[in-house]
């Protein structure tokens, strides 16, 4: 079999493997994390995809996004508190504030790179991309805020390894409810998609969720 035919034969397998995602839980239960758990939790809540333009034989957009979920926030605070030597009181205050914010906002930390720098700036006038949060029924929500992280520092580059000089970084925020009061991401949702779409193509970052089950009764901000 020629090299070209072998490549095309293997392509479907590559696409299936690349699209596989790890199921995670939206349940707001107390977690018991140590600082060493952060990398595992980061990987569980981070997705990477590319949009490839076969007609032009180059990648249009490379995107990595981390969903700052209840679970992710818990692991982040535990790691941050260890690294910066926060005491129990400071750590608990930081955790409570972060978990409280998760009830009002869905936050994503995104890094991306495209063929043209200005078109890849989500906050710029020449941006080629519209960002949407899409549920399993196809209902979409636009962000209430997109902040460009102009100069990522030690915190961003350490806790979000996709940060690099070749990529732009953004914090993207969505409300937890639509205008009619229905949840943007219901607790029983099977998945949610962060979509980057425009004239150049479309890239989906997808998070698949485990069944909701029984929600926790409280925040339970005790960690190891």
Q: What secondary structure does DSSP assign to 189-220, as a single string?
A: -SEEEEEEEETTEEEEEEEEB----SPPSS--
DSSP state of 112: E
User: Does the pLDDT of residue 178 top 90, yes or no?
Assistant: yes
**pLDDT grade for 145, boundaries at 50, 70 and 90:** very high
* Closest residue by Cα to residue 107 from 165, 170, 59: 170
DSSP state of 128: -
**Quick one: pLDDT at residue 53?**
59
SS3 60: strand
Rounding to the nearest 10 degrees, give the CA dihedral for residues 81, 87, 90, 93: 80
User: Does the pLDDT of residue 43 top 50, yes or no?
Assistant: yes
**pLDDT grade for 56, boundaries at 50, 70 and 90:** low
**Quick one: pLDDT at residue 115?**
83
Report pLDDT digits (tens) over 202-222.
Answer: 899 999 998 765 444 344 444
Look up the pTM and report it: 0.83
**Span 38-62, average pLDDT:** 80
User: Does the pLDDT of residue 183 top 90, yes or no?
Assistant: yes
User: Does the pLDDT of residue 224 top 60, yes or no?
Assistant: no
**Quick one: pLDDT at residue 18?**
36
**Quick one: pLDDT at residue 81?**
98
pLDDT above 90 coverage of the chain, percent: 68
**Quick one: pLDDT at residue 7?**
32
β-sheet with 201-208: strand ranges across:
140-141, 130-135, 191-198, 201-208
Q: Where do the structural domains in the chain lie, given as residue ranges?
A: 37-208
**Span 47-69, average pLDDT:** 79
**pLDDT grade for 187, boundaries at 50, 70 and 90:** confident
Distance CA 73, CA 95 (A): 8
Instruction: Decide if 35 contacts 88 (C-beta within 8 A).
Output: no
Chain mean pLDDT for the chain: 84
**pLDDT grade for 55, boundaries at 50, 70 and 90:** low
**Quick one: pLDDT at residue 30?**
83
**Quick one: pLDDT at residue 12?**
33
């Amino acid at each position: 079999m020629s090299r070209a035919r072998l490549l095309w034969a293997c392509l479907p397998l590559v696409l299936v493997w690349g699209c596989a995602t790890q199921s995670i839980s939206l349940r707001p239960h107390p977690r018991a994390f140590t600082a060493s758990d952060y990398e595992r939790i980061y990987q569980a809540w981070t997705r990477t995809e590319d949009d490839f333009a076969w007609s032009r034989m180059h990648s249009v957009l490379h995107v990595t996004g981390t969903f700052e979920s209840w679970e992710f926030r818990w692991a982040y605070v535990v790691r941050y508190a260890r690294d910066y030597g926060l005491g129990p009181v400071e750590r608990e205050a930081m955790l409570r504030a972060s978990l409280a914010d998760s009830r009002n906002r869905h936050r994503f930390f995104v890094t991306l790179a495209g063929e043209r720098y200005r078109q890849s700036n989500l906050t710029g006038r020449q941006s080629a991309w519209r960002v949407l949060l899409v549920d399993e029924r196809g209902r979409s929500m636009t962000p209430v805020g997109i902040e460009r992280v102009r100069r990522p520092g030690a915190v961003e580059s350490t806790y979000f390894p996709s940060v690099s000089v070749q990529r732009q970084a953004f914090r993207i925020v969505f409300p937890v409810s639509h205008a009619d009061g229905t949840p943007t991401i219901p607790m029983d949702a099977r998945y949610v998609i962060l979509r980057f779409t425009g004239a150049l193509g479309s890239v989906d970052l997808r998070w698949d969720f485990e069944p909701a089950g029984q929600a926790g009764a409280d925040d339970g901000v005790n960690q190891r």
